[in-house]
Amino acid sequence: MALFATCLVDSLRPNVGFATAKLLEEAGCRVEVPRQTCCGQPAYNSGDRATAKTLALQMIEAFESYDYVVVPSGSCAGMIIKHYPALFAGDPNLAGRADRLAAKTFELVSFLVGVLGLKTVSARFEGQVTYHDSCSGLRELGIKDQPRTLLASVEGLELVEMKDADVCCGFGGTFAVKYGEISDKIVTEKCANVTTSAAKTLLAGDLGCLLNMAGKLSRQGSGIEVRHVAEVLAGMAEGPAIGRAAQDPALVEARS
Amino acid sequence: MSAHSTAHDFKANASRAIADTQLTGNLKAVRQNFIDKRAKAVKGLPEFEALRESGKEIKDHTLAHLDLYLEYYAQKVEESGGHVHFAADAEEARKIALDICRKVGAKTVTKGKSMITEEVGLNAYLEANGVTPVETDLGEYIIQLRGETPSHIIAPAVHLNKHQIEGDFRRVHTHLDPARDLNEKVSLLTEARGVLRDRFLVADVGITGANFLVAETGTSIIVTNEGNGDLTQILPKVHIVMTSIEKMVPTLEDASQILRLLARSATGQEMSVYTTLSTGPRRMGDLDGPEEYHVILLDNGRSAMLGGEFQDMLRCIRCAACMNHCPVYHQIGGHAYGWIYPGPMGSVLSPSLIGVDEAGHLPNASTFCGRCEAVCPMKIPLPKMMRHWREREFERNLNPALQRWGLGFWAFFAKRPRLYALANRLAIKAMALIGRKKGSFKGLPGLGAWTKYRDFAVPEGETFQAKWKKARAGR
Ligand code: SF4
């Protein structure tokens, strides 16, 4: 099977890619990472259908030979699953290929639970965490219980629900920069809900939302750590949280 | 010309709204209420999902044959002694209404709540022509006193709080005792009732909108919670229904199906307090009712939506669930959208009716969170249609040059995987090097729009693809 890391994970947080691979391999999958760029969502949502199609076709070509394509992001998986078929609908050459790729593409956690039938993971994470339901994953792909099921099996972890966990964080891709002021108000509210939940760690399944919330929390000087859910499920959450500095290498060395 | 628009100034409007703490406080105070009430009503009706599907089918069918149903409806109205006037645009609609008023020498017109009369700017026009319109829905009455437009399609004064309303009443109702107690919401309501009662009695014409038009019987239906609609249409000599063509449904049975969705989605009620059906003028032996019954059917761009990408929008029953659940609406309220229809439904509809050049911001000002579509009783794919508007803007080069350039620059690399990998690695390494001591950037050239409000996480330092290759090379 193929891992589509997404451009954000590829560029900013490779650890999520490795966590994804680890979860899949531990469940018995053979994982490959074909050469990849972006699913085309930024172009698609900006109204640039032509570029979106070019990138979608590039994705189809790179990934269609695998049995499954797994993506650690609800919105990028949603792009392939829901929007590629819409992009190529009526195209005699490509509609079928888009549909077939869509049918074998899954968001990571829904793949682990829904396809592989996983109910538990073997990982440890101390403390209270809260989980934000990213919009595309929740409303396009119905991801709600799956991450909670798996998180419940993580040793030492306690999930505390925040208020309005299923309400948008204000990211919205280019929305966050085009309408920064409105986006800021939405994410400020989200962060208030995170903070009142009393959790020390915030998790979600989409790096876009995570960068937005982590960026705001960091700006507020909050001590709450932000991580991708895959990092916790894979037991790969020892490194610095999103937006946190790595510990001084000298210090790390001295300790080991 | 439809009502005045400031939609092109959306960003400035939104900034102003965000800075207005009274407004944002008022909005915050009511929003959870709408959400909770709807959720409870939906939960209490196991067949809600099936009803949505059936409502959608009814409307899709009607829209596919709208010409036939309109014709049939008009015939039925005439048979029942009423008159139907087709209005191609706002100006025609206004003129027809004024003509009817003039024919009966109307001085005062009472009005039930109607978004269509807002759309065509009827009040200002009547006033300019010597006819005094009096809004009788409490919310509409309040905003009329303030010279404002509705900020919400079912709760026009939702942007105001009790104290603001009290201030307006004291300012305008100078004939009442200044020492009266207006602390309670009911006392405001009672006062408005008292003031309006006199106006009902002197009105020569009553104008209402319609939630549904029933082709089968030539009936118009309104739903209200205050009963003001009934007084508006029963007491005066003439009743004018000003509404738009897409309110059509084939049969009474169809209307009752959709009515079950409407109140639940809007206010969480099972039914609105009053559901009023009007068919023609008063008949022999009727105890009350108007002597004349007119229906003005507004098109104003709607028929052009038929058969196109935006036809689904014509299923809208104006329940407001989409804006009640919209994170953007929650922050800025309805006026910021700049034209009659706010929130997600307006972001799709307004560009259709007043042009995408004017209303281009609206379909862009969405995070595509999808909550509007999830709650829309008519299953209207609002985000998808907002995206269609973005596509039209892109095709016509309407987006700002910088945005296009940025997107084009990114796309150039994204379309070339090898080059992308290389460029991305270099950029990431550079960023990681600059930020190696810190976890987040407080500011970053080119990312100012992001870092103005939030920090940007410093990348790990190497791309996933490069790291993966290295890690797996030894295997
Ligand atoms: S678009 Fe849907 S949710 Fe919004 S007002 Fe219309 S029917 Fe209601």
Residue with tokens 């309220």: B333
In chain B, residues 320-339 whose CB comes closer than 8 Å to chain A: 327-328, 330-332
User: What's the rounded Cα separation, in Å, for the pair B439 and B74?
Assistant: 68
For chain B, the average pLDDT equals 93
**Residue A181: its pLDDT value, please?**
96
Q: Which amino acid is at A226?
A: V
Q: CB-CB: which of A10, A140, A244 is closest to B464?
A: A10
Provide the residue ranges of all domains of chain B, joining segments of one domain with +.
50-152+187-300, 304-395, 406-473
Question: Between residues 200 and 219 of chain B, which touch chain A (CB distance below 8 Å)?
Answer: none
Please indicate if any CB of chain B lies within 8 Å of the CB of A192: no
CA torsion sign for A64, A66, A73, A106 is: positive
| Per-residue pLDDT at A250 exceeds 50 | no
pLDDT of residue A67: 98
By alpha-carbon position, which residue is closest to atom 2 of ligand 1?
A: B376
**pLDDT digits over B390-409, tens only?**
999 998 877 776 677 777 77
Q: Reply yes or no on whether the pLDDT at A228 is more than 90.
A: yes
Query: Region B361-388: what's the mean pLDDT?
Result: 97
Whole-angstrom CA distances from B55 to B31, B255, B264 are: 26, 9, 13
Q: What is the mean pLDDT of residues B434-441?
A: 80
pLDDT at res. A254 = 42
Which pair of structure tokens corresponds to residue B262? 């409407």
User: Could B411 and A12 be called an inter-chain contact, meaning their C-beta atoms sit closer than 8 Å?
Assistant: no
Which of B111, B65, B94 is closest to B314 using CA atoms? Answer: B65
Residues of chain B with Cβ-Cβ distance to A33 below 8 Å are: 464-465, 468
Q: Concatenate the DSSP letters of all residues of B403-452 into one string.
A: HHHHHHHHHHHHT-HHHHHHHHHHHHHHHHHHTTT-SEES--TT-HHHHT
Q: How confident is the model at residue A252 (pLDDT cuts 50, 70, 90)?
A: very low
Question: Which of A133, A205, A204, A189 is CA-nearest to residue A166?
Answer: A133
Cβ contact B178:B170 at 8 Å: yes
Bin B112: left if φ > 0, else alpha if -120 < ψ < 50, else beta: beta
Residue B342 has pLDDT above 90, yes or no: yes
- pLDDT tens digits for B4-33? 999 999 999 999 999 999 999 999 999 999
pLDDT tens, A58-68? 999 999 999 99
> CA-CA distance, B283 to B264, in Å (whole number)?
34
- How many CB pairs below 8 Å do chains A and B form together? 219
B50-152+187-300 and B304-395 have identical folds: no
Instruction: Give the residues surrounding ligand 1 with Cβ less than 6 Å away.
Output: B 265, 316-322, 345, 376-378, 380
pLDDT score recorded for residue B416: 85
Model pLDDT, residue B1 = 67
Q: How close, in Å, is residue B198 to chain A by CA atoms?
A: 44
| Mean pLDDT across B67-92 | 98
- Judge whether B27 is closer than 8 Å to chain A, CB to CB: no
ipTM for the complex shown: 0.94
Q: Are A74 and A205 a contacting pair, CB within 8 Å?
A: yes
pLDDT digits (tens, 9 = 90+) for A20-49: 999 999 999 999 999 999 999 999 999 999
Chain B within 8 Å of A218 (Cβ-Cβ)?
yes
Strands B132-135 and B219-224: unpaired
Put simply, the answer to whether A47 touches B390 (Cβ < 8 Å) is yes
User: How far is it, in rounded angstroms, from Cα B294 to Cα A71?
Assistant: 59
Contact assignment for B454 to A45 by CB distance below 8 Å: no
Q: Which of A12, A55, A76, A190 to probe the B interface (max B CBs under 10 A)?
A: A12
CB-count burial class (<10 Å; 0-12, 13-18, 19+) for B80: middle
Tokens coding B411? 């796309």
Q: What is the DSSP string of B179-194?
A: T----SHHHHHHHHHH
For position B184, what pLDDT does the model report? Answer: 87
% of chain B with per-residue pLDDT over 90: 79
Question: Band of the pLDDT at B439, cuts 50, 70, 90?
Answer: confident
Q: What is the pLDDT of residue B475?
A: 66
A34 touches chain B (CB under 8 A): no
Residue A253 has pLDDT above 60, yes or no: no
B416 or B209: which leads in pLDDT: B209
Cβ atoms < 10 Å from Cβ of A96: 12
Higher pLDDT, B448 or B14: B14
Is domain B304-395 annotated with CATH 1.10.1060.10?
Answer: yes
**Angle formed by the axes of helices B66-79 and B48-64, to 10°?**
90
The set of residues, in sequence order, having a beta carbon less than 8 Å from that of B79 and lying 6+ positions away, is B218, B280
Residues of A in contact with B418 (CB under 8 A): 35
Residue B116 CA from chain centroid, whole number:
11
Residue among A86, A172, A182 minimizing CB distance to B14: A182
Distance from CA of A141 to the nearest CA of B (A): 12
CB–CB contact B18 A42 (8 Å): no
- Residues of chain A found within 8 Å of residue B454, distances taken between Cβ atoms: 184, 187, 212, 215-216, 218-219
Q: What share of chain B has pLDDT > 70, as a percent?
A: 98
Sort out which chain B residues have CB atoms less than 8 A from A135's CB and list them: 367-371
Over residues A79-110, the pLDDT tens digits come to 999 999 999 999 999 999 999 999 999 999 99
Asked whether the beta carbons of B108 and B203 are under 8 A apart, the reply is: yes
Are B462 and A37 inside 8 Å of each other by CB?
no
Confidence of residue B148 (pLDDT cuts 50, 70, 90): very high
Residue B437: which pLDDT band, with cuts at 50, 70 and 90?
confident
Pocket test for ligand 1, best of B380, B382, B386 (most atoms within 8 A of CB): B380
The token duo for A84 is 């590629």
Within 10 Å of residue A32's Cβ, how many Cβ atoms? 13
- The DSSP-derived string for B353-364 is HH-HHHHTHHHH
pLDDT at A256: 39
Cα(B391)–Cα(A83) distance, integer angstroms: 14
Among the four given CATH numbers 2.60.40.60, 3.30.1540.10, 3.40.50.10420, 3.40.50.970, the one describing domain B50-152+187-300: 3.40.50.10420
For position A255, what pLDDT does the model report? 40
- pTM for this entry: 0.94
B165-192, pLDDT tens digit by residue? 999 999 999 999 999 999 888 899 999 9
Q: Please judge whether B395 and A46 are an interchain contact, meaning their C-beta atoms are less than 8 angstroms apart.
A: no
Amino acid code (one letter) for A5: A
Model confidence at B96: pLDDT above 60: yes
Segment among A2-16, B83-97, B138-152, B449-463 with least mean pLDDT:
B449-463
Question: Span A183-204, mean pLDDT?
Answer: 97
- b/e per residue B300-311 (b: at least 16 CB within 10 A): bbbeebeeebbb
State the alpha helices, DSSP H only, in B235-271.
252-266
